[in-house]
Amino acid sequence: MSTDLFALRTRWQAVTRRGPAPVLRIGLLASYTVDPLVPYLGLALHDAGLPATLTVGPFHQIVQQCLAEDGFPATVRPDVLLVAPRLEEAGAAGPAGAGWADELLAVAEAAVTAARRQGALLGYVLPAVPEARPCGAGDPMDAEGVTAAATAARERLRERLAADPGVLLVDAEEAVRAVGTRHAYHPALFRFAKIPYTEEVFAALGAATAGLLRRWYGAGCRALVLDGDTLTDPAPLLPALRELRAAGLRVAARAGADGWSTVADPELLPLLDGWVVDDRPPVAQLAEIAAELDLAPAHLVLLTTADPAAVTGPRDETTTDGGTTVTLGADPKAWGDELTAAGLTDRLPARRWTGGTRGESPAAGPAGLSLADFVSSLDVQVEYRPVTDAEVPQVAELVARAHDFALRPAPAAATLAGRTADLLAVRVRDRFGDYGTGGLVALTREPDRWTVDLFSLSCPVLGKGVEPAVLRELAHRAGTAGARELLVPWTDTGRNGSARRFLADLDLGTDPAVPVRAVRVDAAEPLGVAR
């Protein structure tokens, strides 16, 4: 597995360096760090003839970004908006999973609305059943247990979204199952970067998502091409080939000039809709087969036991013909099962929009939710406390990671250690949970003016109204101390987009106790220099 996934990621880097012009824009919003999905989804789409640009939005802000007029979907204007919430970030499960269901239905409604507004297809990732189960092995016996609650919430979501013709459903639980729970989680990834799954899970999720998108865009498999040079005895494949033909798939074969005996196998020949046996390169043969069957090259799947590059030649990452490959293992006895498991006849079900069957009341349901309503419903509580010398390493690490909301490049821990009297730690809680220390402020207090030298917030607390709440509190404290202004100098670090947008159009909601003035400076002075 390991080196295979590493090779895929390396190929994706090559594709992004030299790849073809994208035909799809895909925006990803998740309640967690979803960046590891990008190479696997991007590469699978590239290989399917659907090269895409993939952009990841702010994490854990799905509803806010979808509801805001200038949110992520409006900015990226994706062809496909992929939304991936987790139950672990959806608050309390509630009776029979009702709490989870309500939260994720709100996410779904916001995402559907945002996707429709942008004319985008919505890909909704059904959340996996949480792995943390208080009763452990006893969870299956608990009618209010994690599995029962998650299953109920997932079915509410499926019921709402499955029939919507503008929605594709992907299932994170299937990806976890495919990998196995022992290999699906890596504690360090979540602890340090809020990445809940291993690369294997993201690879499975990327493949499943790309498979659905292929079918949505009509690039699914229509014909299977046997590589006669490597499948010299096709007998083990015949039962599976008959089933695939019965399911509507066409079957063809290619071989070099010496491969006629394979193609002419008396049991295989009646199953073939076409064949090419000559000295031309396989790529040219496949193109002829596609033309003969009146299909696009993207509709062909080559069946081989060899490294695909050895059959069709090295990949040229500047182009994509869309054809894909199923590589069978060394044991012919397993070929039939491997071919069946490749999912070549997977298809999108016929759907008739019913609008869901539960009929959420507009007053009580999430359909009419506004951004202000949502933020207000979070019941955000912000607390401030001094920072002790012992806490400096922890807050320095927070500041070092808070790239998106920061006034300046992160200062060294030693710099913060010299200013502990000026520091305020920001603790944030909302109805989803306690985020602990989610921000840090450093102040220079002068009689007439307080200056915010440092204001950094971690990603999990952004988009909840914490940003203006902190500045209002600082303005209040400055006014109480007799100052007449709160100054917020900031610089463009190249990565602090959230802070830049917030400060460039400063809106604190209500009038602060003293005027708050955000001033952009070309280069922030080093922290610790007296003003």
Smallest gap from Cβ 22 to other proteins, in A, equals: 19
Our finding on whether 526 is near other proteins (CB under 8 A) is no
Enumerate residues 6+ apart whose C-beta is below 8 A from 158.
126, 169
| Residue whose CB is less far from other proteins, 106 or 392 | 392
What DSSP designation does 350 have? P
Task: Return all residues near 249 (Cβ < 8 A) that are at least 6 apart.
Answer: 221, 222, 223, 224, 344, 345
Judged by CB under 8 A, does residue 376 bind other proteins?
Answer: no
| SS3 category, 504 | helix
Closer Cβ to other proteins, 13 or 319, answer by number: 13
Nearest-approach distance from CB 95 to other proteins, in angstroms: 36
Q: By CB under 8 A, what part of segment 276-295 binds other proteins?
A: none
Interacting span for other proteins (CB under 8 A) from 170-178, 195-203, 354-362, 418-426: 195-203
Site for other proteins (CB under 8 A): which residue of 158, 245, 280, 401?
Answer: 401
Contact map string, positions 34 to 53, toward other proteins, x by CB under 8 A: -xx-----------------
Q: Does 353 bind other proteins (CB under 8 A)?
A: no
Distance CA 362, CA 358 (A): 12
Binding of other proteins by 260 (CB under 8 A)? no
Q: Assess contact for 65 and 72: CB atoms under 8 A.
A: yes
Query: Does residue 412 belong to the site contacting other proteins (CB under 8 A)?
Result: no
Contact partners, residue 229, CB within 8 Å, separation at least 6: 255, 256, 259, 262, 306, 311
- Decide: is 325 part of the binding site for other proteins (CB under 8 A): no
199 interacts with other proteins by CB under 8 A: yes
3-state helix, strand, coil in the chain (%, to 5): 45, 20, 40
Using CB under 8 A as the binding rule, the residues of this chain from 135 to 194 that contact other proteins are: 186-189, 191-193
Spatial CB neighbours of 344, under 8 Å, sequence gap ≥ 6: 221, 224, 244, 249, 301, 326
H-run or E-run covering 30? strand 24-30
How many C-beta atoms lie closer than 10 Å to residue 206's C-beta?
26
Q: Quick check: helix, strand or coil at residue 451?
A: strand
Question: In 313-357, which residue ranges form alpha helices assigned H by DSSP?
Answer: 335-341
Residues near 129 by Cβ (< 8 Å), separated by ≥ 6? Answer: 87, 146, 147, 150, 151, 154, 173, 176
Q: Which is nearer to other proteins, 16 or 232 (CB)?
A: 16
* Closest separation in Å from C-beta 403 to other proteins: 8
CB of 486 to other proteins, least distance (A): 31
Shortest CB 10 distance to other proteins, Å: 5
- C-beta of 10 vs 370, nearer to other proteins: 10
Nearer to other proteins, 195 or 240 (CB): 195
Sites of contact with other proteins (CB under 8 A):
1-3, 5-6, 9-10, 13, 33, 35-36, 186-189, 191-193, 195, 198-199, 400-401
